Amino acid sequence: MICILPTHHKQLIRWELDATTTEAFFGIVISAYSLAQIVSAPLLGYWSNRVARLKPPLILCAIVMFFGNIMYFVVPILPNNHKYYLMIARFVTGIGASNIGLLKAYASAASVSKDRSRAIAFVTGGIALGTTFGPVLFSWLGYPGWQLGGIFAVSMFNAPALLACCMNIATLVLLCTLFKESFAGVADASLKKNKKQKDSTSTDNNLIQLPSYDRKAAAICYALRFTQMFVVTNLETIGSSFAMMMFAWTPTQVVRYSSLAHAAKSLLAFAVYFAYIVFNLGKRMNERMVCLVSIFGLLAFHVFTYSYPFLPNNVITFNNSVAFNRSLAVGCNVDVYEWCSSLTQVNIIVYYFFYILIVGVGFSNINVAMNTLFSKIIGPRLQGTQQGILQMSGGSARMLGPLLVGYLYSGYGPRLVWIVESVVNGFMSFLWIASYRRLVPLEVPPDCFPDTKSSSMRTGSTQITQIENDSAKQAHPGDLLDKSLKTNEILIEPIVPQQNYYSDRQSNV
């Protein structure tokens, strides 16, 4: 499923659909997408946990996202109020995009600990693939693009949405025909369906139970997700306006060069995902240290790209007398922004070098390392609800960040934006260091599991135990795990190492 870059939203609604669009309203458009995720992601995660399945909510998300992309595609042909229709389309698409939490929950449930980072990299890398190549593939179409029957026009702005619709349909077909759920990484009774809880007389010793996970450690991961998305979303929100103002680019130039920079950043990110997937890099890396270094990297980006007063050149300025002429109205409008006259120009090479290098590597490393660590902190249980809350944390940053940054940028300029983001990064670094020792996988003592002398058969990371002489029968895991040890019943019993479920648990480095 392919997402649309916020930068392209801005070009579409401001220069092509409604020239009256402000930075503040653009922030609302971006926030609508995130508000939908804040509301729907935890609910969908809770639903998947209740039914012990992920296919139904994934199908629903694909259908909703299809309609959201259709709405986006037809926005240009509507008679008026384009920016409001675009905001609604973003909200609907945001509901469908709540499948990200479900996908990460399934990656955790379907993989064992030693392969967890590879599974997470597949999911996050796939999302990055869509967000990168959706806009880049069609930038050559330009605007207004190709006319279809005199009604529809396929341009660089809405072509990614059309491709996304095709991908949504393909996703639905694959989900309904080929997708088979597997829970190789789940070892507790959370798989049982509530509607199947029939045996209320079984003793606690006959049921698989896991200790509670460290909620404070999980909260630190929620905070890191908020920080990560706060920084990256804010850079996306003001990215095109900042580049036009700082480097005196025209709208056409900012679309072209920003797309190239984003593509370069994404290629570097793909190299990181490739290393995790092909070389199973997660087995050799300390997730906590990777996250800490990445946080410092995001902080370093703001330090190196800050508009210091001692820099040699000021930004190019213009006023309203030439604002109507796009070829002359480049730089910073002194009649709109009072801070233009005192703002110094950041070196373009320095800015994009650190943007591509630090943001590209840091963001992707946090995606894989933090999600891997988070899944291990929660433990070998279904994680739909927790992953939904994690996505809600990121959605909160994507909603609040553009609103705050849009206000700060318009009123005080990019310097204050850089300071606020640096403070958020610095505080997150302090939290991570202070909580470093408790950010470890959940320990699962062997005595949490039933002790049986029955013969068993290995299947993935579970044992299907046959009680007495009854033959093994096929059943959904949700129908099995709430069974007590009685005659003619089957119990799914995890294979538990002698010391820890996570045999590759990292040391406290």
Same domain, 357 and 379: yes
SS3 463: strand
321 or 279, which is more confident = 279
pLDDT grade for 28, boundaries at 50, 70 and 90: confident
Tell me the C-alpha distance between 266 and 465, whole Å: 47
Read off the DSSP letter of residue 203. -
pLDDT grade for 433, boundaries at 50, 70 and 90: very high
pLDDT grade for 82, boundaries at 50, 70 and 90: confident
322 or 192, which is more confident = 322
Q: Tell me the one-letter amino acid at 506.
A: Q
Read off the DSSP letter of residue 494. E
> Of 45-59, 99-113, 124-138, where does mean pLDDT reach its minimum?
124-138
> Around 401, how many Cα atoms within 13 Å sit in the side-chain half-sphere?
27
pLDDT given at position 75: 81
Tally of domains in the chain: 2
Tell me the C-alpha distance between 409 and 404, whole Å: 9
Same domain, 373 and 487: no
Whether residue 78 is predicted with pLDDT greater than 90 in this model: the reply is: no
Tell me the C-alpha distance between 117 and 370, whole Å: 10
Of the residues 412, 438, 464, which one is the last residue of a structural domain?
Answer: 438
Q: Which two tokens stand for residue 25?
A: 């309203």
pLDDT grade for 461, boundaries at 50, 70 and 90: very low
203 or 230, which is more confident = 230
pLDDT given at position 13: 52
Read off the DSSP letter of residue 283. G
Same domain, 396 and 471: no
Please report whether residue 1 resides in a domain.
Answer: no
Q: Which two tokens stand for residue 260?
A: 């190239």
Mean pLDDT across 164-177: 92
Same domain, 15 and 60: yes
> Around 89, how many Cα atoms within 13 Å sit in the side-chain half-sphere?
24
Same domain, 285 and 432: yes
pLDDT grade for 202, boundaries at 50, 70 and 90: very low
Same domain, 453 and 433: no
> Of 15-24, 110-119, 127-136, where does mean pLDDT reach its minimum?
15-24
Please report whether residue 188 resides in a domain.
Answer: yes
Please report whether residue 237 resides in a domain.
Answer: yes
Same domain, 433 and 469: no
Of the residues 373, 406, 438, which one is the last residue of a structural domain?
Answer: 438
| 124, 371 contact by CB (below 8 A) | yes
Same domain, 150 and 181: yes
SS3 458: strand
My answer on whether omega of the bond before 144 falls inside 30° of 0, hence cis, is yes
Mean pLDDT across 252-279: 86
Same domain, 373 and 263: yes
Q: Give the structural domain span for 38.
A: 6-195+205-307+346-438
pLDDT given at position 428: 97
Q: Give which of 38, 58, 35 is closest to 48, Cα–Cα.
A: 58
Whether residue 484 is predicted with pLDDT greater than 70 in this model: the reply is: no
Please report whether residue 126 resides in a domain.
Answer: yes
Mean pLDDT across 212-229: 95
> Around 217, how many Cα atoms within 13 Å sit in the side-chain half-sphere?
20
> Of 22-36, 98-112, 212-226, where does mean pLDDT reach its minimum?
22-36
SS3 369: helix
pLDDT given at position 40: 95
Whether residue 135 is predicted with pLDDT greater than 70 in this model: the reply is: no
Same domain, 405 and 469: no
Please report whether residue 315 resides in a domain.
Answer: no
Please report whether residue 230 resides in a domain.
Answer: yes
201 or 27, which is more confident = 27
Same domain, 169 and 85: yes
Tell me the C-alpha distance between 165 and 375, whole Å: 31
Mean pLDDT across 484-505: 39
Tell me the C-alpha distance between 466 and 440, whole Å: 35
pLDDT grade for 376, boundaries at 50, 70 and 90: very high
Q: What is the mean pLDDT of the chain?
A: 78
Of the residues 394, 413, 438, which one is the last residue of a structural domain?
Answer: 438
Same domain, 256 and 361: yes
Question: Helix, strand, coil proportions of the chain in percent (round to 5)?
Answer: 65, 5, 30
Strands of the sheet containing 462-466, edge to edge, are: 456-459, 462-466, 490-494
Q: Tell me the one-letter amino acid at 11.
A: Q
pLDDT grade for 44, boundaries at 50, 70 and 90: very high
Tokens 């207004």 belong to 144
How does strand 317-318 pair with strand 490-494? Answer: unpaired
- CA 37 to chain CA mean position, Å: 11
SS3 168: helix
432 or 49, which is more confident = 432
SS3 388: helix
Tell me the C-alpha distance between 170 and 180, whole Å: 16
Q: Give which of 418, 415, 417 is closest to 300, Cα–Cα.
A: 418
pLDDT grade for 143, boundaries at 50, 70 and 90: low
Backbone angles phi, psi at 419, to 5 degrees: -65, -45
Q: What count of other Cβ atoms lies within 10 Å of the Cβ of residue 463? A: 18
